[in-house]
Amino acid sequence: MVPAELPGLDPAWSRLVTAVDSEGVERTWHVLDTAGTDTGAPDTAGPSGYAGTLLCVHGNPTWAYLWRHLLARFSQPDAPPWRVVAVDHLDMGFSERTGTVRPLAQRIADLGTVTDALGLTGPVVTVGHDWGGVISLGWALRHADQLRGVVLTNTAVHQPAGSPAPTLIRLARLPGILPAATVSTQAFLRATLALANPPLPESVRNGYLAPYRTPRRRAAIGGFVEDIPLTPEHPSWSALTEVAQGLDRLAEIPALLLWGPRDPVFGAAHLRDLRGRLPQAKLHRFEGAGHLLAEDADVAGAVVRWLADLDRPTPNPVRSPSPEPAVPWRPLWAALAERAEDRSVALVELAQGGRQVSWALLWRRIREIAAGLSASGVRRGDRVALLVPPGADLTAAVYACLRIGAVIVVADPGLGLAGMNRALRAADPAHLLAVGRGLAVARALRWPGRRFGAGAGAAMLGVTTLGRLARIGAGSPELPPAPGPDDDAAVLFTSGSTGPAKGAVYTHRQLAAMRDALSALGLDPKAGIVAAFAPFALFGPALGATSAIPDMKLTAPRTLTAAALAEAAVAVDASAVFAAPAALRNVVETGNALDDRQRAALANVELLLSAGAPVPAVLLAQAQALMPGAQPHTPYGMTEVLPVTDVTLDEIVKAGRGDGVCVGRPVPGVEVAIAALDPTGTPAEQPGSAAGVTGVTGEIMVRAGHVKDRYDALWLTERTSSRNPGWHRTGDVGYLDPDGRLWVQGRLAHVLTTPDGVLTPVGIEQDVESLPQIGRAAAVGVGPRGVMQLVVVAETRPPVRRAGPAEPKLADAVRAVTGLPVAAVLVVPTLPTDIRHNSKIDRSRLGRWAERVLGGGRPGGL
């Protein structure tokens, strides 16, 4: 039996089960069982009252201890009524050491012997990891009449063609290495435990080592490694093939895939193979987690939520077609197709010498590239990652992919290299289109996807270029049928400012609805638009508006100067400008360099739009001074739904001071509601009404035709954000005033739960920023939930040289202007912001830094 004290393991779960195996030999298995040791062998799935059994199967070289978090969660009084049984394989964990070699087929039979001895008759949900995933699936195929569902964590049932066997396995199987690494020493076992992220505490590591202290007790670890079939000649190849090919019989069985992408054993190819064999499976990737997923992430919490959906299915908006609107669906490329003979200017690029493209040429190029992609094997539903700077090439590539039904994947360089790497591995595109530098990075980091190239230098890398695709397409002008409105169209990645970037999946109908919502902001198709904000560089053509892309790096908004903005306005006689807040800030700072011609061009602008982050009214006023004929607007939205609301500078001034940023009223077709926060900072499950509940702080919820379809490969995140059918929970907090205007007070993750109640950061920051000696400020919480202390971190005027505590006089001024018990005031040379927008303050990072500093750490390293 297990030692009396192992971290997280209740000795009451431990029991021995004796039964005769398939060879007629009596064997003894060790199991962990939440039903305890006094249940006997009931003839149901568990003792009276259980809804079913979770049958948990470990891999190599772990044991049932791997599932202790699951057992603990289902032992709690509020747990779903499911029994949890975790089995130690024979010769593993604390089961009997038989001294025999037990190949895969016998392991599957052994598991059946145990469940027969326990009297399990269903419903059963199998839960498998590593080689235990294959064994659990083998059991599931043989016990389909008992099966209720399948849960898999980091496993595989097939070695995909062209994908090398896991390095750890290949090294362990080198001649002469296997016995030494797996049996004679603990090398293989310790190497596996070292894959945990974060590293396992020593006590937990010792818990895994407990059954494997001697070579005799480790014999099966080597046996398991040796039993992995990598070629058809292996004795277990047929058993593995039988499981892999049999999964189509589970097509109607609910399945859940929980994955740690930082796994050197099972990678993207194995996950892709599993998804192909279990297309009905829900998938959640836990960014940052790896092979030992049950140690790295809250697997138990995910299983609890999934089980709740099994018997109480909620309406699933993901694949259910939307009702046909009163106005027929109009594809995103419709305006381009309608102007196929129009030789007037559609798009102007001012970077690198400049380029003008007519509507006729743009549409011809789109059709040619679309036909070339189709002739080159890009199919409807294939994902195509686009790593091309905004401009004519990217515009043509985007609409070409959309026209043939390929799904564009957009993760801009503003995510940073690490963020891009995570995003592209999560999206797992079949094809990748990039400029030369992007192709080189893709090769170095082994990003997925067949390569296509764009721009100078791509041809030298030996890939098919956009020019080549267009030439292929010109000779094969026929296009495949257009996609339907409810087919996937795009995976658009969020900014990553509040955690790893998430892929938001849009259908064609939803992208078209986004275009229509943007047009409601007052953008006239006859207007010339300066698109100094990446989304508008692509949506301008969809709106039928002539667009100019300034001489700047769109993925680095701060690179826009006033002169560059003015030259773009001259190029298209612009009446509208769309720029990110960081871009506007630099325009204002460089406005003195404008000449009379440039000032005149900016004076003709009638509409100024800025979004992507909160826009201070003073910044809008400063920008309006350069564009005196423009009415500044600041729409509020996010990657998941853009736009949500809109407000003008005049309306902001009229609204006056409030607790947060006034972002105005919902645009046509959008409904906003608030899920009130309780004293713990938790939002209500049901939203309040926009018409009836005002002045109540809570999570902002949105309903609209252009809300994203779902989060990609993030089932748990999607379930949380869309748990109210038809509504998207934004993760922002705010309130509605009596006039129906929305005020944003920050992110839900940044709400402070103090002993005196809930505080939201934005209003506090605005108060602090009203002090003349303060530039920007951030309000963060330090300490546990419920007893957090308010800390203010600020940039000063002039900037301080070193980070640290503020001088007493400034700290007193901050406390006076907020009227709150501020525990500490810290000053920094520059507040950290997100890479993508250069505007959103990274409060999470600041909070961690402040806690370290107040705990006695050095102020450096921010």
Reported as a single tens digit per residue, the pLDDT across 444-497 is 998 999 999 998 777 777 899 999 999 999 987 789 999 999 999 999 998 776
- Beta partners for residue 773, in sequence order: none
pLDDT at 46 over 60: no
Give pLDDT, residue 534: 76
So what's the pLDDT on residue 352? 76
**pLDDT class for 709, splitting at 50, 70, 90?**
very high
Q: What pLDDT sits at residue 459?
A: 72
Enumerate residues 6+ apart whose C-beta is below 8 A from 289: 197, 259, 260, 261, 262, 296, 297
How far is residue 627's CA from residue 600's CA, in Å, rounded to a whole number? Answer: 9
The pLDDT tens digits for 416-427 are 888 899 999 999
Band (610; pLDDT cuts 50, 70, 90): very high
Q: Is 291 exposed, middle or buried (0-12, 13-18, 19+ CB in 10 A)?
A: buried
What is the DSSP code string of 548-559? EE-SS-TTSGGG
Higher confidence at residue 633 or residue 694? 633
Q: What is the mean pLDDT of residues 386-393?
A: 91
**Orientation of helix 596-603 relative to helix 562-572, angle to 10°:** 60
DSSP state of 184: I
Nearest CA-CA partner of 58 in 291, 304, 272: 291
Look at residue 65 and tell me whether its pLDDT is greater than 80: yes
Is the model's pLDDT at 846 over the cut of 80?
yes
pLDDT at 225 > cutoff 60: yes
pLDDT tier, 159 (very low <50, low <70, confident <90, very high otherwise): confident
Condensed to tens digits (0 to 9), the pLDDT of residues 165-217 reads: 776 677 777 777 888 889 999 999 999 999 999 999 999 999 999 999 999 99
Least confident segment among 97-106, 360-369, 553-562, 663-672: 553-562
Q: What pLDDT is attached to residue 49?
A: 76
| Position 816 pLDDT exceeds 90 | yes
What pLDDT is recorded for position 176? 74
SS3 565: helix
Q: Which two tokens stand for residue 473?
A: 């397409």
How confident is the model over 773-794, as a mean pLDDT?
93
Using only the alpha carbons of the chain, give its radius of gyration.
30
pLDDT tens by residue, 518-549:
888 888 788 899 998 877 778 899 999 999 99
59: nearest Cα among 227, 200, 201, 267: 227
Is 664 in contact with 742 (CB distance < 8 Å)?
Answer: yes
- 638 pLDDT higher than 70: yes
What pLDDT was estimated at residue 437?
87
Q: From the centroid of its chain, how far is CA 698?
A: 23
Please report which confidence band the pLDDT of residue 43 belongs to, taking 50, 70 and 90 as the band edges. very low
pLDDT at 343: 96
Query: What average pLDDT is seen over the chain?
Result: 90
- Distance between CA atoms of 513 and 518, rounded to whole angstroms? 9
pLDDT on residue 694: 66
In this prediction, residues 221-246 reach a mean pLDDT of 92
**Domains parsed from the chain with CATH numbers:** 11-162+232-311 (3.40.50.1820), 635-749 (2.30.38.10), 751-854 (3.30.300.30)
Please give the share of the chain, as a percent, with pLDDT higher than 70. 94
Sheet holding 631-633, edge to edge: 355-358, 345-349, 546-549, 528-532, 576-579, 607-609, 631-633
Q: Residue 835 pLDDT > 60, yes or no? A: no
Q: What is the mean pLDDT of residues 365-381?
A: 96
CA–CA distance, 485 with 321 (Å, rounded to integer): 9
Strands (E) across 118-177 are located at 124-129, 147-153
Each residue of 733-755: pLDDT tens digit?
999 999 999 999 999 999 999 99
> What integer pLDDT is reported at residue 839 of this predicted model?
58
In one-letter notation, the amino acid at residue 746 is G
Least confident of 154-158, 413-417, 843-847: 413-417
pLDDT of amino acid 255: 98
Cα 245 to its chain centre, rounded Å, is 31
Calculate mean pLDDT across residues 4-28: 92
Res 82: pLDDT: 95
pLDDT bin (cut points 50, 70, 90) of residue 316 is: very low
Q: Is residue 319 predicted with pLDDT exceeding 60?
A: no
Least confident segment among 66-70, 322-326, 687-691: 322-326
What per-residue confidence (pLDDT) applies to 528? 92
